[in-house]
Amino acid sequence: MAPSRSLYDMFEQDKIRWDEFVTLYFNEMNTFLAKSKIKWIKDFSKNNDVVLLCYESESDPKCHRYILKRLVEDNGQKL
């Protein structure tokens, strides 16, 4: 559920802004495979704790975890 390497690299190299990253990450999560994984996480979370991990600091608001969390909560619907 991580962003693609190319998307991650563009953001880390300041080639795109955070708002552009969010849009492009959402596009990556809008495939059938990603949506099915999002649905699985949502279903699994009904009876289990789910922890989304990343190497970014938990306090860093510019992390894909927060986008993914919202996608799971919204069942894969656009932010």
Residue type, 52: L
- Extents of the domains making up the chain: 5-73
Give the model confidence (pLDDT) of 1-44 as tens digits: 999 999 999 999 999 999 999 999 999 999 999 999 999 999 99
Supply the pLDDT for residue 78: 53
User: Can you spell out the DSSP letters for the chain?
Assistant: -PPPHHHHHHHHTTSS-HHHHHHHHHHHTTSHHHHHHHHHHHHHHTTS------SS-TT-SSSHHHHHHHHHHTTT---
Supply the pLDDT for residue 57: 64
Give the model confidence (pLDDT) of 47-73 as tens digits: 999 988 877 766 767 888 888 988 998
Supply the pLDDT for residue 76: 57
Tell me the pLDDT band of 77, cut-offs 50, 70 and 90.
low
